[in-house]
Amino acid sequence: MDLLAQYALYGLVSASILALPASALTLVYGLLHYPNFAIAELVMVGAYVAVALQVVGVPLPLAVGGAGLLVGALATGLDQGLFRRVRRYGPLPPLLMSIGVMFILQNAVRFVAGNRMRAFDLPVLRPLEVLGLRIGPYQLVMVGVSVVLLVVGHLLLARTRIGKAIRATADNPEVALASGIDAERVARIVWFATGILAGVAGGLLALETVVSPLMGWNLLLPVFAVAVLGGLGSLSGALVGALIVGLAQEWSTLLLPATYKNLVAFVILAAILLWRPSGLLGRARPSGR
Amino acid sequence: MATWTVSRRTVLAAAAAGLAGASPLRAFAAAADPIPVGVLTPLTGAGGPFGAEMQKAITGAVERINAAGGPLGRRIRLFVEDSQTNPEAAVRGVKKLIDVNRVVAVIGSWASGETLAVAPICIENKVVQMSTSGASRITEIQKRGFVYRTEPDDAFFGRAFAQYALGSGARRTAALELQVPYADSMVAAFRAGIEAGGGQFAERVTYAENQPNYRAEVDRVVRSRAEVVLVAGYEPDTAQILKDAYQAGFKGQFLAPGFSVTADLLANVGRGPAEGLVMLNEGVAGGSRAHEAFLALMGERKPYPFASQAYDQIQLVALAIEAAGTASGEAINRTMRQVSGPDGVAVVGFEEGAKRLREGQRINYEGASGPIDFDEHGNISRGNFSVAKVEQGRIVETGKTITVSLR
């Protein structure tokens, strides 16, 4: 029982990291109807930016926040410079382009920063013990920041004018356009938001792992599993998917060797897709077309 | 053209006649001819930094051997090829060494991939081959003779860790193991060693590479209440495990092979997690006479363990030739175990060893990398490991060594 609770806690930490890029993936998919394969590399860039800022003396919260803003700007730039130009040709060209961007980002970082592993210049801290459960101070920060970001994102989408515009455009771009919504502006804002989510996720991830050019690549499949599991295009689906994958992966190690962790995520994914191809909280058909 | 052909035949015939007539003379000339020995080390690729050092050690040793008169009164002449840490380049290199330079031995191959590729060629041509590769699979090839290695097999590493753990008074042990062959044989040997020594092996956790964290894996080890935990992996995962273990509140002792811990790792994981980590490095007989002689030859920078092995390889080849009385691959293969020991008078270099051999004594070469006693398969039957520790964020040699014997 103890063990189950402890691993649930670990699962929560994993979920908090997966939920951010999965939300970013699902946001772009919901609006523009193509999956952005470069999302995990944006997380990696965020991790490098945050570490670089922190190592030269920027306080940690500012370094992580700065990573979010910079990656947000990068994401918007990628959309405006590249993706926007092929958007009108349907989902396949931007999808392929995102794969290209993925490799370019990975190798650009490798070119600039080298293959060496890097980490925050922070002391590694001993865990806190609460009710017999252990959790590291940085892990608390990761979960906390992630939850705040997701709640804020949800409120923005549900309660604000721009949120309404995003939802309207996602639902039916033609009608949205006809009612005077600037679709390009909506796209820019969504891309900026995905960049923030990915950049902050990178900064948070760097709190507990060593940063390397391959970290995005290693994250790509779990992030896709989470987004597809929850239902591409559904923000709350991404959250539920992250929790399921996070918990299942950690709990599976109680029964199976830890090397099967990733396999577990994909078995769940395959099962859900068989039973409900649109994902847990996805709509029966992708909206808009 | 016809005239040319005739004239060439004439020349050939004359030459043949000359050679036949002068055969006693030629035998005399051969005795004074240098003995060709091939050096096949990586100068480029992943093994580049090691190969350059190995070459320096071999060249320096040959200068001393030749200054002492050389084996059978002949000089050793080295032919060097770059293996490029690439099996294909290694094969091209070894073919040139054998076909063109007619070497009697090829020493220095570093990566297991290189060794596995060139060893069969050497066996076919009856040329002795010596490597610093660790993969257990090499033993299968070595069973056909001619091939030797001075690097302890991965299983030795595991035994050495077990010996260290038991020596430190630990009762309960565990291991975290990356899913690669080396780790598998290392941990299996560790477990066997611990259990044979009366200790407990509580948990063996295999992990995949490139995970963002190893919390669940580490947690199992923490919960096993092991006092000593062996981490058999490579640098990135070892770094992450040290961090995760610290954050999980693990207070026991970590052990790791020296090649998975670098200064970069220490910088990345920070002070706390790596502090007290114990590493074993292979192939250094610190404090021994041979090691001192080797260090004097290498200059101020601390050499990697492979250089001391390369130094020992050329010494052994020279001594085996002296003991055999002829310079051929077959002769070296016949006498290699006679000069490597363990029986006989301990010697630490060619000059000393050759003198004993000429007095009719049996010798036992005790090298810079360890005692080097070859077993029936050409593996060293005793491995020598130096113990290093992380203290205040730096790797410090403790001066302790562990010797492992599989018999």
Q: Which of residues 203-222 of B touch A (CB under 8 A)?
A: 205-208, 210-217, 219-220
Decide if A188 contacts A8 (C-beta within 8 A): no
Residues of A with CB under 8 A from a CB of B: 3, 6-7, 10, 13-14, 17, 116-119, 122-127, 129, 134, 136, 138-139, 205, 208-210, 212, 214-215, 218-219, 249-250, 253, 257-259, 261-262
Contact A253, A6 (CB under 8 A): no
Strands (E), B141-258: 147-149, 172-178, 200-207, 228-232, 253-257
Answer yes or no: do B268 and A117 touch at CB < 8 A: yes
Distance CA B51, CA B159 (A): 27
A121, A210, A245, A251: best mutation site toward chain B, by most B Cβ within 10 Å? A210
Beta bridge partners of B130: B107, B148
pLDDT digits (tens, 9 = 90+) for B278-295: 999 887 766 788 988 999
Cβ separation B210–A218 shorter than 8 A = yes
Interface test with B, best of A124, A252, A262, A264 (most B CBs within 10 A): A124
Q: State residue B7's pLDDT score.
A: 54
Which residues of chain A have a CB within 8 Å of the CB of B214?
258
Give the residue among B94, B65, B78 at the shortest CA–CA distance from B34.
B78
What pLDDT is attached to residue B125? 96
Cα of B232 to nearest chain A Cα, Å: 15
Least confident of A138-152, B43-57, B69-83, B345-359: B43-57
Q: Mean pLDDT for chain B?
A: 86
Q: In what order do the strands lie in the sheet with B147-149?
A: B76-82, B35-41, B105-109, B128-131, B147-149
Residues of A in contact with B220 (CB under 8 A): 253, 258
Assess B180–A contact: CB distance below 8 Å, yes or no: no
Strand intervals (E) in A51-193: 128-130, 133-135
| Closest chain A residue to B275, measured at CA | A124
Contact A223, A22 (CB under 8 A): yes
CA distances from B222 to A137, B16, B212 (A): 19, 78, 19
Q: Which of B216, B220, B243 sits opposite A124 (nearest CB)?
A: B243
Q: Could you tell me the pLDDT band of residue A40, with boundaries at 50, 70 and 90?
A: very high
Interchain contact B294–A (C-beta under 8 A): no
* pLDDT at position A287: 46
For residue B243, which residues of chain A lie inside 8 Å, CB to CB? 124, 208-210
**pLDDT tens track for B121-148:** 999 999 999 999 887 888 889 999 999 9
Which residue carries 């290693």 as its tokens? A218
The secondary structure element, H or E, covering residue A242 is: helix A235-255
Look up residue A185 and give its amino acid: R
- Nearest CB neighbour to A117, from listed B236, B246, B249: B236
Q: How far apart are CA A40 and CA A21, in angstroms?
A: 7
State yes or no: pLDDT of A198 exceeds 60.
yes
Q: 3-class SS at B385? A: strand
Contacts of A14 in chain B (CB under 8 A): 213
CB-CB under 8 Å, B211 with A126: no
B160, B262, B294, B296, B297 from B300: Cα distances, Å: 28, 20, 11, 8, 9
pLDDT for residue B8? 53
Q: Tell me the shortest Cα–Cα distance from B258 to chain A, in angstroms.
A: 18
Yes or no, beta carbons of A10 and B240 under 8 Å apart: no
Mutate to test the interface with A, among B247, B254, B269 (most CBs of A within 10 A): B247
- CA distance linking residue B104 with residue B78, whole number of Å: 11
For residue B159, pLDDT over 70 is answered with yes
Is B358 in contact with B348 (CB distance < 8 Å)?
no
Residues of B within 8 A of A10 (CB-CB) are 215-216, 219
Residue A69, classified by CB atoms within 10 Å of its CB into exposed (0-12), middle (13-18) or buried (19+), is: middle
- Closest Cβ opposite residue A127 in set B205, B213, B247: B247
B5, pLDDT greater than 60 = no
The pLDDT of residue B64 is 95
Q: In the prediction, which pLDDT does B406 show?
A: 64
Computed from CA positions of residues A143, A146, A151, A152, in that sequence, does the dihedral angle turn out positive or negative? positive
Q: Which residue has the tokens 């502006």?
A: A185
**Cβ distance of B270 and A125 shorter than 8 Å:** no
Are B252 and B195 in contact by the 8 Å Cβ rule? The answer is no
Evaluate whether B103 touches B38 at the Cβ level (below 8 Å): yes
Distances (CA, A) of A204 to A46, A51, A126, A199, B327: 9, 10, 18, 9, 65
- Inter-CA distances, B124 with A252, B118, B127, B131, Å: 51, 10, 8, 17
The partner residue sitting opposite A219, judged by closest CB among B212, B220, B272, is: B212
**How far is CA A166 from each of CA A13, A181, B306, rounded to the nearest angstrom?**
29, 9, 63
Nearest CA in chain A to B274: A124
H/E element, B390: strand B382-391
* Cβ–Cβ contact B177 with A under 8 A: no
- Name residues 223-282 of chain B within 8 A of A (Cβ): 223, 235-236, 239-240, 243-244, 246-249, 264-265, 267-273
Cβ-defined contact of B243 to A210 (cutoff 8 Å): yes
Which of A198-207, A221-230, B332-341 has the weakest average pLDDT?
A: A221-230
Task: Tell me how many degrees the CA angle A136-A141-A145 measures, rounded to the nearest 5.
Answer: 155
Question: Are B219 and A10 in contact (CB < 8 Å)?
Answer: yes
C-alpha span between A277 and A268 (Å, rounded): 12
pLDDT of residue A32: 86
Q: Of A117, A126, A215, which has the smallest distance from its Cβ to B212's Cβ?
A: A215
Using the Cα atoms of residue A172, residue A175, residue A179 and residue A180 in order, give the sign of their dihedral: positive
Q: Is residue B1 very low, low, confident or very high in pLDDT (cuts 50, 70, 90)?
A: very low
Residue B270 pLDDT greater than 80, yes or no: no
Nearest residue, CB atoms, A209 vs list B240, B246, B265:
B240
Which chain A residues contact residue B233 at CB under 8 A? Answer: none
Residue A289 pLDDT: 40
Task: Name the pLDDT band for A88 (thresholds 50, 70, 90).
Answer: confident
Question: Shortest Cα distance from A69 to chain B (angstroms)?
Answer: 23
Question: What's the sign of the alpha-carbon dihedral A106, A112, A113, A116?
Answer: positive
Shortest Cα distance, chain A CAs vs residue B213, angstroms: 6
Are B404 and B159 in contact by the 8 Å Cβ rule? The answer is yes
Q: What are the tokens at B38? A: 């091939």
Using the beta-carbon criterion (under 8 Å), do A250 and B239 form an inter-chain contact? Answer: no
Q: Which of B268, B271, B275, B390 to mutate to test the interface with A (most CBs of A within 10 A)?
A: B268
Give start and end residues of each alpha helix (H) in B270-402.
271-274, 289-298, 305-324, 329-340, 350-358
Using CB atoms within 10 A of its CB, is residue A199 exposed (0-12), middle (13-18) or buried (19+)? Answer: buried
pLDDT digits (tens, 9 = 90+) for A217-227: 888 888 998 99
**Residue A119 scores a pLDDT above 90:** no
For B240, name the nearest residue in chain A, comparing CA atoms only: A209
B248 interaction partners in chain A (CB closer than 8 Å)? 127, 134, 136
**Tokens 């200059």 appear where?**
B299
CB under 8 Å to A250, separation ≥6 — which residues? Answer: A7, A8, A10, A11, A14, B215, B216
Distance from CA of A216 to the nearest CA of B (A): 10
CA distance B48 to chain A (A): 17
pLDDT of A136? 86
> Which strands make up the sheet holding B172-178, listed edge to edge?
B200-207, B172-178, B228-232, B253-257, B278-282, B382-391, B394-405
Q: What pLDDT is recorded for position B29? A: 46
**Strand partners for B76:** B35
Q: Are A37 and A246 in contact (CB under 8 A)?
A: no
Do B208 and A259 make contact, defined as CB atoms within 8 angstroms?
Answer: yes
Q: How far is B216 from chain A (nearest CA, A)?
A: 6
- Residue A43, by phi and psi: left (phi above 0), alpha (psi -120 to 50) or beta? alpha
**Predicted ipTM of the assembly:** 0.73
